[in-house]
Structure formats: C-alpha cells, structure tokens
Structure 1
Amino acid sequence: MTSAETHGETVLTEHFANVRGVRLAWFEARQTGVPVLALHGHFGRGRAFAALAESLAPRHRVIALEQRGHGHSGRGDGDFSPDAYVADAADFLRGLGLGPVVVLGHSMGGVTAFRLAARHPDLVRALIVEDGGAFNRRPDIPHPVLDVRGWPRRAPTLAALRRAIEAQGIPDAGYFLESAVEHPDGWGLLFDHDDMMASQQALVGDWWADWLGSRCPALLVHGLDSFVLPTAMAREMAARRPGTVLRELPGCGHWAHDDDPAAFAAAVREFLDTLEP
C-alpha cells in the first residue's frame, strides 16, 4: 500500500511494511540511487528528510523510516527500548533486501544508527549521526527527557495547538507540529505522550560502547548551538572513534537539518562522496 504527499516542494511516496509485527511507515522521493536509510529523532517524522532527499538526488535514494510510535507507524507492543528500535531498523532493511547501506540518524535516530552499526555490521557501510550523543545522562546532559505529560491532547485549531505547546516553554512548536493532525474532536499529535516519555527515559544511559563498537566510516554533524549534545562531547566522540569526521555547523542547534538545510546537505554530500562506490 502506498500513497503520496507533498512536503515543501518535494513529493514523497509513503509506504508501509510489517516489521516484527508492527506496521511501520516509510517515505521516499524516488526509487533510484544508492540507498541511505534515514532515522528521525523523538517526536519526529520520516518526511522531515524531504529536503535532504531532494538535495542528494539523483545519486542517492533517501529511505526515511518512521519509527514505532511515531508518525503513521504503529506502536506495536509498547516496547520503546533502544533495542526495539535497532531490531526494527535491522529487520526493515532485511525486508527490503538492502544492506550494507549508509545509515543516517538524528538525535535518538542517531543513537539507533550507531547501535545498529555496532550490532549488525553487515547492514551498515557508513554512519551519519546528527547530534546523537554517546552519553545521555545527568550531569553531562542537564535535560535528557522533555516532559510532555502536560501537553494538550486536543485543541480546537492548529493555531491553538501551537499556542498550547509553546505555552509549555517550547520556543517554536514547528518541529512537533509535523505530527499534528485533525481528529473528529479537534487537533492533536500523532504520537502518544506517555509512549514518548517511556521512549525518552529508556534512552537515558551510557552508549559509548556502541558508539565505539563499529569500524565503518562515520560523519558526526553537530550544531554548535545545540542544547542536547555538548560540543566537548561531540569532539570527544570524534577523537575516540577511528574513521570519524566531525562537522560543526555554526548558527545551528539540535535540528541542524532544519536550521541550515543547505549546510547540512552539503556536509552529508561531501561525506558520501568520500565513500567507495
């Protein structure tokens, strides 16, 4: 089953796959080119990579998976552990007959990406990690969990939903509103608030062993204004893992792909050009 939707100026085809008993959605802009698996972060959508897909075409084909509990994907049995996300990504790639591929991940998706490389090296030929840290625990990370338990479940309009989210201390709700849909009883978000709390809490931990557990080439993209990945940690991650290139993007925060899409795409493209065919 497929459908089409437009994100910006990019037309995306949405597909669905049964992965480990969970119905997962995934997007692509075209069916040709060297495949790149893209994994969003918490609260995100696969279609957030539409601009990147356009920038990398026609040489590369971005396959953006909506991870369990996000977007149009099902929540399965409610297991939102990091291991569940890794197992989903591995089975998804095998189901498409792909691998080894370049795997790109943002934030939580970045942790999934480098853990996938450590645990399933046959599926990953290179890594691109955007602001996903090897350590996610206080005191290094002051706020590893965004508390969304008090966020509105419904609002009468999309504008009202934005205002209600921003009233919770979010400066710009745009990222979260990618998941906004109109229900019979008003506007709400596709993800479940409690599921996202469980998923974030499960990601609190020390992931250094997984970051250092693969040997493939890697690009670490870090927004210098990020409040999630400290610059000192990003530099340590690059220094400790052989074959890792660090690209620091000034003027960008945690969502570098949104803050400066051109710079982010250029960093990704330059790295991809260094890989052997």
Structure 2
Amino acid sequence: MERTVVNDGVRLLVHDHGGSGPPVVLLHGLAGHSGEWDETAAWLRKDHRVVVFDQRAHGASERCPADVSRAAYVSDVVAVINALRLGRALLVGQSLGGHTAMLAAAARPDLVRALVMIEAAPGDAAPGLPEDIENWLASWPVPFRSREAAVEFFGGGPVGTTWAAGLAERRDGWWPRFEPELMVRSVVELSRRSFWPEWRTVRCPALVVLAESGVFPGGAAREITRDRPSTTVVTVPGTGHDVHLEKPEPVRAAITEFLRSLGT
C-alpha cells in the first residue's frame, strides 16, 4: 500500500509492505530509490511489518526540498515512524541510508530498537566527497536511450537492473528521478566533520555489514567496534558497495542471525 507522509512541508512517498510483527523501516542510499528493497521486504514481511520510503529529493518523493541536511533526513524517518504509528522500529539502511539510520538511532532512542548499517559507518570528514559525487553523476550518459542501455551502464545483473528501475521515462529517453545538485548537497556535511560522536551515543543493538571491496578501508571494522564492542560486524567477500544487491543471500543471513539474537 502506498501513502503520503508530509514532514515540514516535504512530501514523502511511503510503501507499506504490510506483514505482522515488529516494525522494520528500510532506507535506500544516495541517488537510490525504495524499490531496491523489494526483495528484502518480501522475506522480512513474513515476520515483520515492513515500511520503505523514497527519501527526500529521491524517487517519487519531494524532488527539490529546500533542506537536504543530515538532520532533515533524520526528521523524515521520525515522521514516517510516527505517522504510521510503528512504535520502536528496526532501522535498516544502505550507504547514506545507513548513515541516516545511525543518526536517527542516536537522536531518537525511543523510536529505534535496533540498527542495521549496510556499507555505512560513522566516518571521519571526507573533504573530497561532494566533488566525487558530482563527477560520478556527471559521468551518467543522461538521458539514457533505453532502459537496457541504463542496465548495461550500471553494470548489468541485479545491480544494473535495480539502478535502471530508478529512472523515469520521458519522450527523449530515461532520466534520473533526482536533481544532481541536491545529491551533492546531501553529502556536504559528511565532507566537513566526523560523526563518531553520534555513533558513541547509540545504545541499541547494531549490525554493520561491509563489502570486501566497498568504500571503507580494511580497518573499518576495528574502528566501528572500538567504542561499541558489542556491535556485530560482518564482511561479505567478493562484493562492492551495492552488496545488498550483488549478494543478497549473505546479507539476508547476517540480518536473520541478528534478528534471532534480538529474539525476533
């Protein structure tokens, strides 16, 4: 079921996959879309209430919000949880969505019972990140001449198919459902400061899933557990940043075992 949640004037398109049991909110990454969680939602909803939404400036949600700060993204998570009366939810996020999930857990422990971060970590300041994102998006041959061309550009297979599914068809081809400038602005704060202080305040159980060839260095697991030794860290071999799309089974196994440890 689809519904709209409005947070401080920003319209968010929410997909409620239903299911009975403890609530789960799934958060996609930068330039992504809620559809990338369809497979995950399908197995999670057997024992959980599963909710996904296109984050601000993405997909079918508000395309050009004035505010794309970290606090604004977190505020949207809180708004969705409250609007759907989910209570304390498990937050699962990939990349920037995982970072948002972490900040929500730090800011609102009353609404977050557990946290799963996939290819996401607190991280130190990354000064070159906005430029890297700008260059990456500029490399897209927009408009794509066909969906098939987009699938090929994004690497084919499940990863390419999922990224291509986030595009919108227009008369002249296939276009991203976001403004590149707002994607760049969404990571500016990550370029300016560390978020380790927020990580240290997270009190709920946490699982971090990293890719062997992802965006984080080999010592990331040690850093993540340095201040929170109880955190579970799993590294999936032979995968890149989109580990949840490349090899969903190991990710599912890690989340399932984590949920078992929570008693859900």
Same fold (TM over 0.5): yes
Q: Which runs of 5+ in 2 are unaligned?
A: none
Give secondary structure in 1 for the equivalent of 2:251: helix
Q: 1:50 to 1:100 in 2, by over 3 A?
A: same
1:72 matched to 2:60? The reply is: yes
Given that 1:225 and 1:251 are in contact with CA atoms closer than 8 Å, whether structure 2 keeps it comes out as yes
Task: State the AA in 1 paired with 2:76.
Answer: D
1:211 matched to 2:203:
no
1:187 paired residue number: 174
1: distance between equivalents of 2:109 and 2:223? Answer: 23
Query: Alpha carbons of 1:183 and 1:141: their partners in 2 closer, same or farther (altered >3 Å)?
Result: closer
CA distance in structure 1 between the partners assigned to 2:20 and 2:233 by the alignment: 29
Q: 8 Å contact 2:142–2:175 — kept in the other structure?
A: yes
Contact 2:19 2:47 (C-alpha < 8 Å) held by counterparts: no
1:88 partner letter: D
Among all aligned residue pairs of Structure 1 and Structure 2, give the percentage whose two residues are the same amino acid.
34
1:240 aligned to 2:224?
Answer: no
Q: Is the 8 A contact 2:211 2:236 kept in 1?
A: yes
Q: Given the alignment of the two structures, is residue 154 of structure 1 paired with residue 143 of structure 2, yes or no?
A: yes
Q: Which of the pair is proportionally richer in strand? A: 1
The answer (yes or no) to whether the contact 1:44–1:178 under 8 Å persists in 2 is no
Match of 2:44 in 1: 56
Alignment partners' CA distance in 1, 2:141 and 2:246? 26
- Cα separation, 1, equivalents of 2:110 and 2:55: 21
Q: Counterparts of 1:191 and 1:236 in 2: how far apart (Å)?
A: 33
Q: CA RMSD in A?
A: 2.4
Q: Distance in 2 between matches of 1:231 and 1:140?
A: 20
Structure 1 unmatched ranges of 5 or more: 1-12
Per the alignment, residue 37 of structure 1 pairs with 25
Partner residue of 2:238? 251
Residues 254-263 or 201-210, more deviating: 201-210
Local SS of the residue matching 1:243: coil
Q: Distance in 1 between matches of 2:150 and 2:260?
A: 42
Cα distance in 2 for partners of 1:55, 1:161 equals 27
Q: Check conservation: 2:105, 2:111, Cα contact below 8 A.
A: yes
Q: What residue identity is the alignment partner of 1:218?
A: A
**CA 1:87–1:259 in structure 2 vs 1: closer, same or farther (change >3 Å)?**
same
| 1:270 partner amino acid | E
Q: Per-residue deviation at 1:234?
A: 2.8
Q: CA deviation at 1:61?
A: 2.4
**Aligned equivalent of 1:106, options 94, 115, 119:** 94
Could you say which residue in structure 1 is the equivalent of 2:213?
225
Change (3 A) 1:74 1:138: closer
The structure that is helix-richer by fraction is 2
Q: CA offset at residue 268 of structure 1?
A: 0.4
Contact 2:168 2:175 in 1 (8 A): yes
Relative to structure 1, the CA distance from residue 30 to residue 98 in structure 2 (aligned partners, 3 Å threshold; closer, same or farther) is closer
Decide which moves more: 240-249 or 149-158: 149-158
- Number of aligned positions between the proteins: 259
Distance 1:141 1:88, change over 3 A: closer
Amino acid at match of 2:73: Y
Cα deviations by residue, 1:183-222 (Å, 9 ceiling, x for unpaired): 1332211111111121133332311111111111000111
Q: Deviations over 1:227-259 (max 9, x none)?
A: x12231233102321431111111122111111
Using the TM superposition, give the Cα deviation of residue 154 of structure 1 relative to its aligned residue in structure 2, in angstroms. Answer: 2.3
What's 1:87 paired with? 75
2:164 alignment partner AA: L
Indicate the SS of the match to 1:64.
Answer: strand
Does the CA-based 8 Å contact 1:137-1:144 persist in structure 2? Answer: no
Q: Which moved more, 1:151-160 or 1:205-214?
A: 151-160
